Amino acid sequence: MPEGLTGSLAQLPLIDLLKMLAAGAQSGRLELSSGLDLGDLYLHRGQLVHAEASGDWGEAAFARLVTWPNGQFRFIPGEEPPERTIARPLDQLLAEAARIASEREAIRRVVPSMDIVPRLARKAPRPQLTIDAADWELITLLDGSRTAASLAAELGLDDFEAMRRIYRLKLAGLVEFEKPQQLAPAARALAGPAFFQALHTAVAAAVGPLAEIIIDDCLDAMGHTRQDFPRDGIARLAEAISNEITDPEKRVKFQQTMLALIRGQQAA
């Protein structure tokens, strides 16, 4: 391999570059840069043994670097790694990278950018849909005003993980998208007595006579009463109560009921 081989990732993608280095059983450091981001990959006899990028090490760093569509590279033969953090064969890592790249493309067809504004869908989702904890975490923030970028920031997610969660909810029929320019600021509204009457019925169907206690405990934990509880907090309240329901089937039924109540509140 020539000393100081350099080039552009736009012309020679990282996966293809690594295949070329592996075919030649090369050893050394592959230095990468994209804007202000820097990364290093170390190879030993054609196998990837260490990676560093933006504070990540090992496979996490490799997963970050392999997503770079643009940037520059320089290969320095013979340079030894400071440590060895990757043990899996390169062909396995490349196969996984190709799978993730395919997943990214599928997600971007549905969630084209971080500027989209997801909101709960107006139509009911399919029956018996199970909502996991990660989905509920996102659902609690869907108020029809936050962009995907702001949701990601609030949840501490990178762009890809945020888009992946929104994509999953979209395929499940739970969300639809607004355009930011269509949005208008809304006054903060209260949930109201009718909501709490419906909530009590739904919780009682799941937990029986403990319904009142569970509702009041969850409200207290959120720092509210029934009189001052805001409409945009309903999803968070639903999540809290859902965590108190131990029967899986009753929990699913409660979640379905709450989704219908939330849609009704948003349409009001």
Residue range 21-60, pLDDT digits in tens: 999 999 999 999 987 789 999 999 999 999 999 788 999 9
Average pLDDT over residues 208-237: 90
How confident is the model at residue 81, as a pLDDT? 95
Smallest CA-to-CA distance from 231 within 259, 266, 183 is with 266
For residue 83, with 0-12 CB atoms within 10 Å meaning exposed, 13-18 middle and 19 or more buried, which class applies?
exposed
Distance CA 233, CA 187 (A): 14
Residue range 98-128, pLDDT digits in tens: 888 888 889 989 999 888 999 988 876 666 6
Assign 117 to helix, strand or coil: strand
Distance CA 261, CA 23 (A): 59
Distance of CA 96 to the CA centre of its chain: 18
Neighbouring CB atoms inside 10 A of 261's CB total 19
Residue with tokens 């930011």: 180
Residue 153 φ/ψ, nearest 5 degrees: -65, -40
> Which one-letter DSSP state was computed for residue 104?
H
Average pLDDT over residues 230-246: 86
Residue with tokens 């799941």: 206
For residue 268, with 0-12 CB atoms within 10 Å meaning exposed, 13-18 middle and 19 or more buried, which class applies?
exposed
Assign 231 to helix, strand or coil: helix
Residue 260 near residue 127, CB atoms below 8 Å: no
Distance CA 174, CA 4 (A): 51
Residue with tokens 């600021």: 185
Average pLDDT over residues 161-182: 84
Smallest CA-to-CA distance from 37 within 65, 1, 6 is with 65
